[in-house]
Each structure stands twice: as C-alpha cells, then as structure tokens.
Structure 1
C-alpha cells in the first residue's frame, strides 16, 4: 500500500490507507479463514480498497467502550474513510472503503473494477492456513447438521444484560486465546477462531441488546440506574435463533474455545480477567440449547446456577493485599476481589448485615448480599467494569438494598472504591452505613 501511494504521489492519504487496509485484511483473516483478495486503485476520487473473502457473514460495528479489548476495527474504518460498505458475492462478500482527503469528493463506488493502477492477490493465504476446501469455515472433523434448512432454536428466560456483558468479555478472551495459539498451530487456531467469530456475529445480530443506562455522578442518577437493571425487565421470556445448518457445529467449537480460554485466564496467562461463573454457565446453556434442539429436543429455560465460587487461585491472594485495615476498621467495610468474592469484612459491617463472625461471609460471592432481582445487573456491571472500565457505581454514594443474614432486606448507603494491588489486580472496598 505504501509503494502504491508513493508511486501515485498520494502520500497525503498514506497513514489512513495503511491503517484501513490493515484492518480490512486482518478482519478477513480473523473472521473468515478463507482465501482473501485485496484490490486497490488510485483515481480522481482518492483510493478505492476492496477485500474479498469466502464468508457470507457481513462485518458488524460493535458499540464497545473505548477500553474494550476488541471492536474498534470498523470504527476506525468508519472514521478514516470517506465511505465503506459490503457487496455480496455468490460465495462470499467484498468489503470496500474509499480513502479521500477533505478536499476530494469521494467517487461513487462501482461494482465492476475499472482499469487498475495496481492489484495484489492474497489468495495463497489459504495454503498458509492449510485449508483443503476453499471457502470452508468449518475445521476438519466437525460434523455439520444434516438438515439443509435453517435450525430454529427457542431460547427461554434469556438474561439480556448478562448476555451483553458475556459477549463483550468473550470476544476479548477469544482474541487473546487466538494470539496465544498462533505459534503452536496457526492454521487450526485461525480456522477455529473464524468459526467462533461467525457464531458470535450471529448472536450479536439475533439476541436483543438492552440499552445500558448512562453514567452516574449524582444520587438521583445512581438511583435511576439501579431501577433500570431490575428483574424482570432485563430478561427476554421467549426468543428464537435462526441458525444456518452449517453454523450449528460452530457452537460446539465456540464452547470448546471458551473453556480453554477460561483455563488460561484463571491461570493469569491472559490479560482478560477470569469470567464470572454465571456467565460461563450462560454460554454453556446457550450452546447446549443449540446442540440439543438441532436434533429435536425440547427447549430448556435458562435458570441461574446455584451460587458458585470462582476457581481456586483466581482471586487476589492474601500476600498481595493487606486485609487488616478492613478487619480492624471501626467503619462498616466489606472488601471483595475481582472474582466477585468477599475477602474481608469489619465488625461494624457484620452487625449491620446481621452476621456473627467474618467466617460466615469471607469466601462467599457478593451475590450473597444482593437481592436476586439485582443479580443480573450486578454480574453484568461487574463484568463490564473489569473488561472495559465501565464504573457508574465506583466513587458515587447510593442507597441500595442488602440481604441480611436472616434473609430480610435492609436499605444501606453504599460507597465503593476500587483499589489496586501489588500484582495489578483490584480490590473493591465498600463502605456501608444506615441511610441519612
């Protein structure tokens, strides 16, 4: 791309062009695992770029936060190009973009190539990936569903907030897991990642995404936020997925990759935080429903699993954080680590919550103190904080209901601080007091 633009005396669009072509080609490699062709032409309208591949799944812009681990590629293309789009092919698609300067009017995009200044074919990439079937997005050994028609999968009691948070966390983990595998078996890693990406794109398209409440800096804004994430408003009672028959096996691939990625995350070998147990079970349920219903089984509604503890060793270790200031505090303090597990509690907090000794709470999930109607909102919010820094409840006082030891609820004023540890993890310390 650099040689092309310098030869055409268009170094004014060089930076934008190099970044856009990098994003287009990378997307095709990561999400299709098929032969790729790159076409480029400099003309009076600037630079025309086209990247074709053998997948019919269109690229979709994600609405991820600025600190998210993935989801920026199409945003960059949108910002740096004078226009971009997708054109369908009989066995794939073309993603095109126009790079112009502010003084140039972008030429209309044509479906048929005009005479070119320069073309580069990346088709030999299929040999590097070891793909035996051009255009295939299913690795060898994966059995496809026999029914050529779409498979209809009915999903009941879908926790939409949890699914939204899981989806963003899962995309980050899948990308990091792919990077960890490239030196071991590049062909298989890229192919399986493309299969999982197709499944994630289908879920992004067909599972509704609830509108997340905005930031909160005042008591009233926090109150409004909390009232917007309460059951049953954040659960879809009945929904349906329409899955192409050749994509059904991809859910098995996604399930396998996510389990493997979670193992690495819990061993602190990925940058991504370990996944909350409930979100892990949500994915297993979803993939299981696709597998079972594709062969005729009846739908099984989602139901939250019993409170599960994170894997041993995934939280903040005692050596990394001194719990004594919380244990000995005259304030009502509760501390939790980034696996959502209570790791320290002061005597005044025990009294407010109706417990007799710290051993009754330390080691339990924070969910033990949260009414069930807020569980989904808490799990989603906690995950989005760890994955992209979303923090509407950090540093802002709020009055929230807590579950006491006897099962009754009590409204308490809550102020949460996020504190770093020596190993780069986080501890969350909540100050509680009766409402003023």
Structure 2
C-alpha cells in the first residue's frame, strides 16, 4: 500500500512507552509504503520517547505523519526543559541521544509549547511542513537565583557523567520494585539539566601533556556562577541528592555495577543541592570548600599488604592504590624519595597526599571519569608530573599508571622515574 498515513497516541510514562511508539511508527510507514525508512525512524523515536519518559515523567503524546518517501514524528511532553547536547566523553554511557537524532534524521528541532515541549524529526521531505502545534503563550516561569561560589568546574563536568550513568542504572534496578522510580528519575534529571545548562563546561584536550598543562588551578575553578533555578524545580534538587545517596548505597552493597565514587564528588553534589535549598529559603551563599577526608583503617591495609607489595618490582619507585585511590603499598625506595620516614606514614591515605593541590581537582575528575566510563587518557603511558614530598616541596617525575588485579580487587600500580 502507499499514500499518506497519520497515527497519534498518548503514552503513560512507563517502560513500555518506547515499544508502543515504535509500533505506531511501523504502522504509519507500512500504510504509506515507506518501510525503507523504518529502521532509522524507529531508532530515533525510541530515543525521544525514552528521554521523555525518564526525564519528564509526564504523559507523552506521539504524532506520526508518513508519506511514500518521508516521515515526521512529533514527541510532546509536559516538561519545560528543552533538550541540549551535553559535553560527554566518547566513552560515556549516556548523553549521546541528540547526537543519534542528528545522525539518523534529516531535520529535527524542539518547540516550546508554553506547557511543555515538542521534539520533532523528519526523514525525507513531507508535502505538509511542520506546523508546531503551539499552545497559547504563558508567562515565563518564576526562577530562584542561586549564587555558586568557587565552583569546581572539572569535578562538576565529571560528576554530570557519573550521576547520569548512576541514575540510569538505579532506575533500571528500581523499575519493577517501586512505582515512584520514573517520577524520581525525572525530577533528578531535571535538577541535573538545570546545572548542566548553566555551569560553564571546561574545554579539555585529549593529549596527556596538554591536559596536565591546562587543568590546574585556578583555571579549573570558576569564582562565581549565578544559576537561575525554576522555582518549581527547587524540590528536584532534594530528590537528586536523596536519590544519588540511595544509588551509592546500592552500589556499595553490590546491587549495582557502578564503581566507588570519589569522596570529593559526593561532597560537591551535597554542596550543590544544599545551596539551592538554602538560597531558595533566602540563606546566604556558601563557597565550595572540600572537607578533609580521612584515610582508611591502616590495619585493614596492613593485613593485605603482602599481596599488594608483590605488585611492586624490586628496587622500584612505585606505589599501589585501591579503586578508591587509597594508598595500599609503597616501595621502600619511593618512601625514601618522598622523604618519609616509613611507609606507614602513607599507607591508608588518599593518593592526593602526593599530588600537588593545584592538580587535585583534575585528579578527582579523571578518577571519576575512568570509574564511570573507562576514560584512560593518563593510563598506560609515561607522563611528566610533579609529586609532593613529605617536607612540602615538589619533585618532577615521569609517571606510569597501570591497572592490575589482586584476586577480584582492581588496583592501580603507579611507577615513578626520577627526572
């Protein structure tokens, strides 16, 4: 059969929505004789409807118009937040949706309706142009200005990737157990989107030497950013904070696949969410200051020290850290080189103890991205870096970091060469 076909449907915000939208697209394309467009159209509508379900959490209206050589699909929801391409690493597990839309569709756009938005795409050229289905204009939403001071931009960028991946995994974990899973995910995603759209994004080179030269303080931190939070979204930051804490607890209990999160990232998220709630209640802004993080129980480290120490070559300048970047073993030569009296002064401490403070944010962000999506710009190759000695001075070294395993535990071996 061939000709024009139109299909409309309203979907509840539930996991089967994408499947039903694909069926509607298949029905329209089959009726119009445009089955050759089916693969691309189904792929894009799946992405748009899934995003509407998990990020808006409202009913989703789908309209499909198909002709012999063209199709247009409109996906409408009641969330006012417009989609935007996010700055994600090439290995990120989320954040590529609009890139996929751009690759598969000939044209796409988003239209604010006053009550929400319509995201539409076309493959081919239809005889009837997109009309927009605009609703009557409504007043702009009220906003709450939130002043964020001393914002760690690198850590925020890495946290956005980690939080999106963790929330997606936690949503899948909760779907068949909790009726509020999709609503919570939509609220948390809204809060993430508010920050992602308004906080500056760092420009990062891929080259390791260039990376180390450009990510130091103070360039990695913004003195002040004013974020305009829609007043209706203030509570979404409470949901985001609580949901991520629950997701982290589930990951720590082994119920999720997500790797341990860096303490500084967890503290930063709590600070961001607290600033929104505090300033919405007319409290003063509090600048970001990372809290001191104690190491782990040194007794736990010493119990397994022989297993870690076996990863260190004789007479090497090297140390072993955990997945959480806690120092587990140090070679005698490195202890001496760093001017410590004995290895116990380093065991159980975060590896940040030997990283100059101006590189701390870059280290935390890099460790977060590696744990989230395997980004390994600074692994498997020698790079020149400064290290902090016990006396507070610095020494320039060449560093090679390689992941290893001790049983089921993943660790990192860092080998140093004097310069």
Which TM-score bucket, shorter chain as reference? 0.7 to 0.9
Cα distance change of structure 1 residues 386 and 112 upon mapping to structure 2, 3 Å threshold: closer
How much has 1:369 moved relative to structure 2?
0.6
Partner of 1:232: 218
Instruction: Name which structure has the greater RCO, CA cutoff 8 Å, separation 6+.
Output: 1
The correspondence for 1:303, drawn from 289, 298, 307, is 289
Is 1:80 matched up with 2:104? yes
What TM-score comes out, normalization by structure 1 length? Answer: 0.83
What is the distance in 2 between the residues matched to 1:226 and 1:21? Answer: 41
Secondary structure at 2:65 match in 1: strand
What is the distance in 1 between the residues matched to 2:74 and 2:255? Answer: 37
Cα distance change of structure 1 residues 263 and 78 upon mapping to structure 2, 3 Å threshold: same
How much has 1:309 moved relative to structure 2?
4.1
Partner of 2:268: 282
What is the distance in 1 between the residues matched to 2:132 and 2:201? Answer: 37
The correspondence for 1:430, drawn from 411, 414, 417, is 414
Partner of 2:131: 111
Deviates more, 1:65-74 or 1:272-281: 65-74
Is 1:394 matched up with 2:379? yes
How much has 1:327 moved relative to structure 2?
5.0
Paired residues, number: 386
The correspondence for 1:262, drawn from 248, 261, 284, is 248
What is the distance in 2 between the residues matched to 1:348 and 1:108? Answer: 75
Deviates more, 1:74-83 or 1:321-330: 321-330
Partner of 1:192: 184
What is the distance in 1 between the residues matched to 2:199 and 2:280? Answer: 18
What TM-score comes out, normalization by structure 2 length? Answer: 0.87
How much has 1:325 moved relative to structure 2?
2.0
CA-based RMSD: 2.3
What is the distance in 2 between the residues matched to 1:149 and 1:11? Answer: 46
Q: Is the 8 Å Cα contact of residues 310 and 339 (structure 1) preserved in structure 2?
A: no
How much has 1:322 moved relative to structure 2?
3.4
Deviates more, 1:76-85 or 1:10-19: 10-19
Cα distance change of structure 1 residues 111 and 333 upon mapping to structure 2, 3 Å threshold: same
Is 1:337 matched up with 2:322? yes
Secondary structure at 1:323 match in 2: helix
What is the distance in 2 between the residues matched to 1:67 and 1:417? Answer: 19
> For structure 1, which runs of at least 5 residues remain unmatched after alignment?
114-147, 217-221
The correspondence for 2:38, drawn from 14, 31, 41, is 14
How much has 1:324 moved relative to structure 2?
3.3
What is the distance in 2 between the residues matched to 1:433 and 1:407? Answer: 19
What is the distance in 2 between the residues matched to 1:64 and 1:310? Answer: 32
Query: Which string of whole-angstrom CA distances, capped at 9 and with x for unpartnered residues, describes residues 164-203 of structure 1?
Result: 11111011111111111111113x1111111111111111
Q: Is the 8 Å Cα contact of residues 155 and 365 (structure 2) preserved in structure 1?
A: yes
